[in-house]
């Protein structure tokens, strides 16, 4: 499959164009030639020297990531940018990025994958961002708050931070992966029992306490492995060979 075809298929499946005015990340191909045959696709959460080098060592034709190299524009290729881009060019490896589209996708996305992990049913969009949503809300059989925390603990060896300010039983759960504590206000307005995200800002403690909502901080990296793994399965269904480059940050 050529790179343009792969990118077009991914863009269509992920509704990339819908997030063009919402995302600081330019989604799609960030590094690559106009024409490139792709047979081997590595997937990773982050485009960094470590993941790029591992992808190239595996002889990847394309590295597909959630967090790319460009955020809001690229003025010059020096320093860190050069250190990350140069190996891709030397290794003849393209880079495809899907940030918010991959958070948001109702089947392939990070929030959807975490909702599967937690066994959420009756799902609906959550995490409003302009006309789109980047998270999900759903119900599960009622559990004690500590039990929900334990079900998240196997995602991240560094452990889960739990702000235990919600009800004695958790049933209605909202998810925004990565850095999603800004949506605690929506969680409060919607009356959910718990908000699950990756990392939080300092003020989320008092906001959660005042809202009476449990907040679980399960790790930015750990909550955002689901999407790229799902895209690897999608690429395999298109006849491509894939590998997951796992490089946890503990954050």
Known binding-site positions for a divalent metal cation: 66-67, 103, 220, 224
Q: In 3D, which of 104, 99, 100, 129 has the Cα closest to residue 115?
A: 104
Binding residues: 66-67, 103, 220, 224
User: What is the rounded CA–CA span in Å between residue 19 and residue 27?
Assistant: 9
User: What is the rounded CA–CA span in Å between residue 187 and residue 195?
Assistant: 7
C-alpha dihedral, 166 to 171 to 174 to 177, nearest 10°? 90
User: What is the rounded CA–CA span in Å between residue 138 and residue 122?
Assistant: 5
Question: Within 13 Å of residue 231, how many CA atoms lie on the same side as its CB?
Answer: 34
Q: What is the DSSP string of 44-68?
A: EEE-SHHHHHHHHHTT-SEEEEEE-
According to DSSP, the β-strands at 194-197 and 132-143 are unpaired
User: What is the rounded CA–CA span in Å between residue 190 and residue 217?
Assistant: 19
Residue where the block lists tokens 């793994």? 229
Exposed, middle or buried: residue 116 (CB in 10 Å: 0-12, 13-18, 19+)? middle
Q: Under a CB-based contact definition with an 8 Å cutoff, are residues 199 and 218 in contact? A: no
Q: In 3D, which of 150, 135, 162, 160 has the Cα closest to residue 227?
A: 135
């Amino acid at each position: 499959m050529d790179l343009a075809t792969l990118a077009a298929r991914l863009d269509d499946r992920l509704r990339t164009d819908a997030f063009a005015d919402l995302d600081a990340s330019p989604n799609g191909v960030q590094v690559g030639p106009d024409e490139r045959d792709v047979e081997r696709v590595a997937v990773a959460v982050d485009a960094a020297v470590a993941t790029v080098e591992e992808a190239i060592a595996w002889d990847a034709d394309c590295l597909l990531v959630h967090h790319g190299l460009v955020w809001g524009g690229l003025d010059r290729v020096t320093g860190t940018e050069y250190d990350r881009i140069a190996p891709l060019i030397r290794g003849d490896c393209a880079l495809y990025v899907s940030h918010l589209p991959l958070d948001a996708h109702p089947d392939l996305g990070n929030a959807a994958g975490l909702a599967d992990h937690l066994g959420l049913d009756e799902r609906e969009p959550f995490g409003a961002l302009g006309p789109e949503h980047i998270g999900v809300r759903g119900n599960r059989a009622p559990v004690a708050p500590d039990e929900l925390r334990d079900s998240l603990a196997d995602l991240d060896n560094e452990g889960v931070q739990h702000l235990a300010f919600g009800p004695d039983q958790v049933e209605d759960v909202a998810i925004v992966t990565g850095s999603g504590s800004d949506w605690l206000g929506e969680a409060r307005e919607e009356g959910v029992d718990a908000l699950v995200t990756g990392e939080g800002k300092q003020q989320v403690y008092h906001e959660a306490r005042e809202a009476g909502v449990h907040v679980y901080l399960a790790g930015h990296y750990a909550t955002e492995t689901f999407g790229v793994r799902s895209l690897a399965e999608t690429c395999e269904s298109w006849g491509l060979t894939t590998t997951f480059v796992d490089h946890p940050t503990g954050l």
